[in-house]
Amino acid sequence: MAKIVPEQTTRTIKPKTEQIIQMFSRYGLRITEQRRSIAKLFAETADLLTPMQVYHDLGSKHRGLSFDTVYRNLKLLQNLGVLEPFYNKDGVKFGINSSHSDSGQHLFICMSCDIVYPFDTSFLIEIPQLPLEFKAVIHRHEVLGYCPDCNRC
């Protein structure tokens, strides 16, 4: 399980369980116990989670829950802008969308142990002039490499 290492200078505003549930409601989606559990899981963790990790966590609480249901709900939360995917050598992991941050939060992701270090580069990155018709919704930046512990190996 990838851990997000907090940085003292970056304060992340994570949506609470009820805020995530309200997004389901706002789009006219039923609030099932499974959706409530997924919202709670992501609202309360700093981890990036694979769909299989979410499935195993929720499977112990919800009999008959299928992996397909979990994956569809993760994709739905991604489409609603609550979660964002992070790709690594092993596949995809989901985490709270970094646009729920009060700064230009970007991520360094270790390609070996998957530890995630948030860092603020808002002073370095200039958004290019976009065509008038283009509406930017999400700005994200990931740097892939090796953390100090993995780099020593």
Which pLDDT value is given to residue 66?
93
The predicted model scores a pTM of 0.65
**pLDDT tens, 10-54?**
334 456 888 888 888 888 889 989 999 999 998 888 778 899 999
SS3 44: coil
pLDDT bucket at 74, cuts 50 / 70 / 90: very high
Range with top average pLDDT, 8-22, 53-67, 110-124: 53-67
Residue of 29 and 124 predicted with greater confidence: 29
Read off the tokens for 149: 């512990």
Which of 18-22, 58-62, 87-91 reaches the highest mean pLDDT?
58-62
C-alpha distances in Å from residue 49, one per residue of 4, 9, 108, 128: 11, 24, 16, 32
Provide CB contacts within 8 A for 74, sequence distance 6+.
Answer: 38, 51, 54, 83, 94
Task: Give the mean model confidence (pLDDT) for residues 50-74.
Answer: 92
Q: Which helix (H) or strand (E) holds 43?
A: helix 33-43
